[in-house]
Structure formats: structure tokens, C-alpha cells
Structure 1
Amino acid sequence: MNTSEHCKEVYAYFGLAMYRAQCVEQSIVQLLIFFDFFKKNAPIFSTSEKWEADFDRFDKVLSKKTMGHLLGSIKDLGILDDNIENILSLALKKRNWLAHAYFVDNALDFINETGRNRMIKELEDAIELFNSVENMLNPIASSAALKYGMTEDALDKIKKEMYESAHGDL
């Protein structure tokens, strides 16, 4: 592999690692939706319009929070065991390092093949960490979704509608 292609490979792995970190962040958001918003608002549901307006407000507040603040919010709800909370804290540290210091910390490694190979391995490890966190959080969110009537069929219908509205080709 030539040097230019090897550099592109590092960037591709970095992009995938950051994407997976964002997936973890969205999983935390999903948990907050089910264990905070739904829990508080489902019992007092009055109209679809009010629900949508309240949901949009809640979502807007969440979208302004950092991953660290989202993690603090989910910890405050007390729904996760200590092991998951500890792994989420590790994922947060890894995500923040990737976002704020990764290329600075690896500047000298990036200029040689051995260093780039080490960077790729490090990014693969980060991707695996984020994947394992998702594997822990997804069943919790799925269980909560089911409690509120979001069956696999309902979710498939929502996905289909989203893909069609986006004119997706995946």
C-alpha cells in the first residue's frame, strides 16, 4: 500500500470510530427518551399535538448537551448498573480523546508506516469499545421501547417510512 492510501486508511478508521462514538451518544439519548421523557409524559398524555411539542422541546434540550452531560443525566436516573456506567465513562473518555487530541497525540506516529499501523489498531480497539457499549445499551432501550408499544413491526414501519422519505438507497 502506498503512503497516501495508508494515510487515508487511518482517516477512514478515525471516521468510523467517531461515528460509532456518536452511535453510543444516540443510544444514551434513546435511554433518556424512554426512561425520562416517556416515563414522565406517557401517564399524562392528552393530545398528539401536545406530545409532539413536548417531545420536540425535550429533544432540543438533549441535542444541546455534551456526551458527558448526557451520561450524567442517565446516571442520575439510576437505571444502569455500575459496570455499564463504568464502561460508559470509559467510552466517554475515549470519545473525548478522539475528538480533541487524537491526531495531536499521534502526530509523530502518523508520519511513518509503523506508527500509522499502531494508530489503526488503536482505532480498531476504540471501535470495538463503542460497539460493546452499544451491545449493552440496545437491549435496555429495546425493552423500554417494547413497554411503550414499539414492537419490531412498528419499528420496521418507522424505518421504512424514514428511508422512503429520505429517498435512501441502502
Structure 2
Amino acid sequence: MEDESLSQEIKEIYAHFGLAIYQAQCLEHGLVNALVFIDHIPNNRKHATSATEWSESIDSFMESKFEFTLGRMIRELSSVTTIEPGLQNLLSLALKRRNWLAHGYFKDRAEDFLTLKGRAKMLAELQESQELLADADSALEQAVKPAMERIGLTDEVLAAAYKKLRVEAGS
């Protein structure tokens, strides 16, 4: 029974680590989207000569930004718009947390991973990390919302597009 309980605890830690990293990737995508709405669309929409060219332009822009590190994405956003200090602080905390998770978490927690108390600590940290990264993504989304609305991407338009995608996906 103890082996089964230990196995379940370990699986739970890995699952929560995966969710924290997923939240970091959501934030990365949010930053790329922000760059599209704040920088690319306003500065390049007039240059496209067809819908296909415009779509390719956005895809190419996004692809190039996904090659950036999270820190570089944040710096790039700061270079094209003013980021309110509270959001800047949240993005900085999220960057530090993401980097720690990706590059040092399990090394730093190797001893904790061996004990019940340590694993409980790890689980709490990972849940806190998920919340921090999700909060940063949500705050970014709210900050970008006016730029999205200026180009016609209102909540209603986005909800209709999401509904269409779900229908097309068969769910």
C-alpha cells in the first residue's frame, strides 16, 4: 500500500509540474499574441495585398517570435508599448518562476522529493507556480484587450470564433 501511495504522490508532482509548464507556455503564447495585436497588425495591415498574404505575414511574425525566450518576448513587448508597472512586476516574477521550473526545479528539490513532507512542499510550490503563471497570463490578456478591440476582436467575436472551431472539431 505504501508503494502505491508513494507512486501516486510522485505522479501528482509530475502532473502539477506539467501543468505549471503548460501555464508558462500559455503566457508565452499570450505574449506573442500581444505582439501581434499591439505591433504587427497596426504597423503592417496596410502592406498586405491579399488575405493570403496577410495570413502568411501574421504566421511568419508569430513563428519568429516563438523562437524568442520568454525574457526576450517580455523585452520585445516593452519595446513596442508601455507596460504598466504592476504587470511588468508580475511578468518579471513569472519569468523567474518559469526559468527556475524549466532549468533547476527538480535539481533544487532532489532531497525534498525523497520525503512525504518534501513532496507536500513541492506540490504546494507547483500549485503556487501554476497560479502565478496563470495570473500573469490573465493580467496580460486584460492589458491587451483594448488593442484587440481596436482591431475588432471583441469578446463576442472571439466567442463566436471559438464556437465555430468547436463545431468544426466535432465537440
TM-score (norm 2): 0.90
The CA distance in 1 between the partners of 2:122 and 2:86, in whole Å, is 27
Q: In terms of mean alpha carbon deviation, does 134-143 or 105-114 score higher?
A: 134-143
Within the alignment, does 1:115 sit opposite 2:118 as a pair?
Answer: yes
Report percent identity of matched pairs: 34
Q: Which amino acid aligns with 2:72?
A: H
Asked if the contact 2:30/2:140 (under 8 Å) is kept, the reply is: yes
Q: Give the residue type in structure 2 aligned to 1:8.
A: K
Which one of the candidate residues 78, 97, 100 is aligned to 2:100? 97
Aligned: 1:144 with 2:129 = no
Alignment of 1:20-169 (within 5 A): 20-167=23-170, 169=171
Query: 95-104 or 158-167, which moves further after superposition?
Result: 158-167
Paired letter, 1:127 = Q
Structure 2 distance, partners of 1:63, 1:39, is: 20
* Structure 1 equivalent of residue 10 of structure 2: 7
With 131-140 and 23-32 compared, the bigger mean Cα shift is at: 131-140
Change (3 A) 1:78 1:154: closer
1:123-148 Cα distance to aligned partner (Å, 9 max, x none): 11111211221231111222221111
In structure 2, C-alpha distance between the alignment counterparts of 1:151 and 1:46, rounded to whole Å: 25
Alpha-carbon distance, 1:151 to partner: 2.1
> Does the residue aligned with 1:79 lie in a helix, a strand or coil?
coil
Deviation at 1:44, TM superposition (A): 4.0
Unmatched tracts of structure 1, length 5 or more: none
Call closer, same or farther: CA 1:78–1:152 in 2, change over 3 Å.
closer
Structure 2: gaps spanning 5 or more residues: none
**Distance in 2, Cα, partners of 1:128 & 1:153:** 27
> Which amino acid letter does the alignment assign opposite residue 151 of structure 1?
T
SS in 1 for 2:99: helix
Letter in 2 for 1:141: V
> Aligned partners of 1:56, 1:31: CA distance in 2, in Å?
14
CA RMSD in angstroms, aligned pairs only: 1.7
Tell me the CA shift for residue 50 of structure 1: 2.0
Amino acid at match of 1:118: K
- Cα deviation code 1:17-42 (max 9, x no counterpart): 11111111111111101111012023
For residue 79 of structure 1, report the CA deviation from its aligned partner.
2.5
Q: CA deviation at 1:10?
A: 0.7
